[in-house]
Amino acid sequence: MHTILKAENIVKEFVGLKALNGVTLEVYEGERHAIIGPNGAGKSTLFNIITGMFKPSSGKMFFRGKDITGWPAHKIARAKISRSFQIINVYPKTTVYENIRNAVVSKFNRRFNWVTLLSRDQNIEKESNRLLDLLSLTAARDVLASELSHGMQRQLELALTLALDPELIMLDEPTAGFTRDESHKVVQLIRQVTEGKTLIIVEHDMEAVFSLADRITVLSYGQILATGTPNEIRENEEIKKAYLGRKGNGTGA
Amino acid sequence: MSRNRIYKITGAVATVFLLLVLAPKFLPEMKIHLATEIMIFALFAVSFNLLYGYGGMLAFGFAAFFGFGAYATALIISRIPAMPLLLTLAIAALSGFVMALLIGPLAVRLKGTYFALITFAFQMFLYAIALKWRDVTNGDDGIGIARPDLYLPFLGNLSMAEISNLYYVTLALVALGIIACYLFLKTPLGNSIMCIRDNDVRSSFLGYSVYLTKVTVFCLSGFLAGLAGGLFVLFNEFVATNCIDLSMSFLVVLMALVGGTGQFLGPILGAAFYITFQDWVSSLTQRWWLFIGALYVVVILYIPDGLISLFKSERIRLFGNRKRG
């Protein structure tokens, strides 16, 4: 299988804390890859390093064979790695349509265009409307993002992430704050919109993870405990221990 | 925006513009002076609002660009008399741009108070140069100039000593600057600037370069401020350190706040109100600064969204129970 993203021995040290301690990971083209682990395992840190929020202390990150270690976030986004946020992060004071249009402008590389009027651009309008439709946000087109329900805001968050036409989609706890039922729907939606694309997802809801993921990586104390198919992970004794909170012999203090 | 509202706004703007064009025919000379000054400061306040209201960057040292444009204009007119006037003004605008290009890349890395203070520091640095480099700037005494004539094809030489001629030149350039700024905000780049103001983290993860976009808007507002500074020297026939000092920096903040920031027409209204108010109060009393101070307090307390908010459709509670954060 073709590797799309490769992390090589990633170490991230914060002051007084080693959040990641040599993580090596390969994500294959077209797979849905979940990263799980107990709180404080380093999931978010790894996620933030891949997307350019943090720079690793050491180690290398490759995307399609290209070294993207330490690239700033906007450059990584332009390389077609697109992320969502755990805490909803949209443009609260503008409408749903304008939110999505902001992403579409970026996708079409019109960010620095200053010779045409934005409202006159048919391509941007068409694409924005298509995305509204795809995420069933058309009814809320002219509502301010801050006035949407939590569920709709999550959908908008997802829409912004997908609007860039990413080759690698990174979702950070997309079902956070949902009831079980709603969570089901979100997973359904994610499955539908990420069809044929590569997905990395950090998620606490195990039901969602095991139904969605092709492969799962388990992090604990900044190291990878195991990577494998959902079945392999389910059978793994060490992981059961980590999740039950009992520490194995070698896993530190 | 509804079609109806577009018609209304277009109608209002066209009416104001027509009135401005006809004004010199009816107004006494003193009032033409006043109107010219208002237009110049309207442009200055609009350029400030581009940076603060739309770019989210509050600069306390914004007089740096105005003053630099002003000094550039005075120096060119006094040392190179043959330079065509429009070219001089273009150079004034460009020098504001260049100064912003020098300061911007360093300043926009900082946020909030730190950004405000570093722009202030650069402005004070330029102020010190203007004050101390006497060979060039004449220090406190400033540089006096005579307004050069403006040569226009078909019309010949227009004497700028005639205030109504200066008024029309100012009107044309200010209108051009303000319309360009208005249209600019409607382009994708203008939209990028507001994206970054509203949410810089999300914007960078959507592929927007926060740094480059901020530098760009910083330079553009410097350009317009430099043009305003050039026009001011032409109007005043004199440049001194007051064009580049602290009070000039605060003046533009005050005008924008009084009128309403983040609203396109706010700073224009603010400049008009402020200049008129100052003109009126200073004709009544020598202690007019006292009243300017009071104006500041009243606006901050009771009309925090600026005078422009009084024209909005929402109910106004001038002395009501506005919640304070």
Q: Find where tokens 């994206």 sit.
A: B195
**Cα–Cα distance measured from residue B286 to residue B220, given in angstroms and rounded to the nearest whole number:** 37
Tokens describing residue B260: 């309403």
Given a cut of 70, the residues of chain B with pLDDT beneath it are 1-2, 313-325
Q: Look at residue B152 in the predicted model and tell me its pLDDT.
A: 84
Among the partner-chain residues A74, A90, A117, the one whose CB lies closest to the CB of B187 is A117
Using a CB-CB distance cutoff of 8 angstroms, which residues of chain B are in contact with residue A103? 206
What Cα–Cα distance (Å) separates residue A122 from each residue in A47, A108, A125, B130?
35, 12, 5, 50
Tokens describing residue A97: 């349509």
Q: Look at residue B315 in the predicted model and tell me its pLDDT.
A: 43
Alpha helices in chain B (DSSP H): 3-26, 29-49, 63-79, 85-107, 112-132, 134-137, 163-184, 188-198, 200-205, 210-236, 246-259, 266-284, 288-302
Given a cut of 50, the residues of chain A with pLDDT beneath it are 246-253
Length of chain A: 253
Distance from the Cα of A178 to chain B's closest Cα (Å) equals 22
User: By percentage, how much of chain B surpasses pLDDT 90?
Assistant: 72
Q: Which residues pair with A58 in a beta bridge?
A: A11
Distance from the Cα of A246 to chain B's closest Cα (Å) equals 38
Q: Using one digit for the tens of pLDDT, what is the confidence trace for B21-65?
A: 998 888 899 999 999 999 999 999 999 999 999 999 999 999 999
Q: Look at residue B96 in the predicted model and tell me its pLDDT.
A: 97
Q: Look at residue B1 in the predicted model and tell me its pLDDT.
A: 56
**Cα–Cα distance measured from residue B83 to residue B92, given in angstroms and rounded to the nearest whole number:** 12
Angle between helices B63-79 and B246-259 (to 10 degrees): 120
How would DSSP label each residue in B143-157?
Answer: EE--PPPEEETTTEE
Interchain pair A89, B190: CB under 8 A: no
Q: Look at residue A245 in the predicted model and tell me its pLDDT.
A: 53
State whether the Cα torsion A34-A39-A42-A45 is positive or negative: positive
Q: Look at residue B316 in the predicted model and tell me its pLDDT.
A: 44
Answer whether B36's CB lies under 8 Å from B166's CB: yes
Q: What is the ipTM of this complex?
A: 0.90
B184–chain A Cβ distance below 8 A for any pair: yes
Residue type, A48: N
Among the partner-chain residues A73, A83, A89, the one whose CB lies closest to the CB of B199 is A89
Residue-range domain boundaries for chain B? 3-255
Q: Look at residue A246 in the predicted model and tell me its pLDDT.
A: 47
Q: Look at residue A247 in the predicted model and tell me its pLDDT.
A: 46
Tokens describing residue B111: 């946020």
Q: Using one digit for the tens of pLDDT, what is the confidence trace for B65-79?
A: 999 999 999 999 999
Residue type, B179: I
Interchain pair B216, A112: CB under 8 A: yes
Q: Look at residue A250 in the predicted model and tell me its pLDDT.
A: 40
Phi/psi of residue A56, each to 5°?
-70, 150
Inter-chain Cβ pairs, chain A and chain B, closer than 8 A: 89
Collapsing DSSP states into helix, strand and coil, what is residue B305?
A: coil
**Cα–Cα distance measured from residue A200 to residue A215, given in angstroms and rounded to the nearest whole number:** 10
Collapsing DSSP states into helix, strand and coil, what is residue B217?
A: helix
**Cα–Cα distance measured from residue B46 to residue A25, given in angstroms and rounded to the nearest whole number:** 52
Instruction: Indicate which of A80, A91, A99, A100 best probes the interface with B, i.e. most B CBs within 10 Å of its own CB.
Output: A91
Q: Look at residue B266 in the predicted model and tell me its pLDDT.
A: 93
Distance from the Cα of B213 to chain A's closest Cα (Å) equals 8
Interchain pair B213, A105: CB under 8 A: no
Q: Within its chain, how far is the Cα of B251 from the centroid?
A: 10
Using a CB-CB distance cutoff of 8 angstroms, which residues of chain B are in contact with residue A105? 188, 191-192
Tokens describing residue B184: 């600019």
Q: Give ∠ CA B213-B216-B221 in degrees, rounded to 5.
A: 130
Residue type, B59: A
Answer whether B217's CB lies under 8 Å from B224's CB: no
Answer whether A36's CB lies under 8 Å from A209's CB: yes
Question: For the sheet containing A58-63, what is the strand order?
Answer: A17-28, A3-14, A58-63, A66-67
Alpha helices in chain A (DSSP H): 43-51, 73-78, 96-107, 122-134, 150-163, 180-193, 206-212, 230-235, 237-244
Minimum CA–CA partner of A48 in chain B: B205
How many other CB atoms are there within 10 angstroms of residue B167's CB atom?
Answer: 22
Q: Look at residue B242 in the predicted model and tell me its pLDDT.
A: 93
Among the partner-chain residues A85, A92, A114, the one whose CB lies closest to the CB of B187 is A114
What Cα–Cα distance (Å) separates residue B220 from each residue in A187, B56, B65, B104, B184?
46, 14, 11, 11, 10
Tokens describing residue B320: 């009501």
Interchain pair B186, A119: CB under 8 A: yes
Q: Look at residue A244 in the predicted model and tell me its pLDDT.
A: 56
Q: Look at residue B288 in the predicted model and tell me its pLDDT.
A: 87
Task: Please compute, for residue A205, the number of CA atoms within 13 A of its CA located in the half-sphere on the CB side.
Answer: 20
Minimum CA–CA partner of A81 in chain B: B205
Length of chain B: 325
State whether the Cα torsion B82-B86-B87-B88 is positive or negative: positive
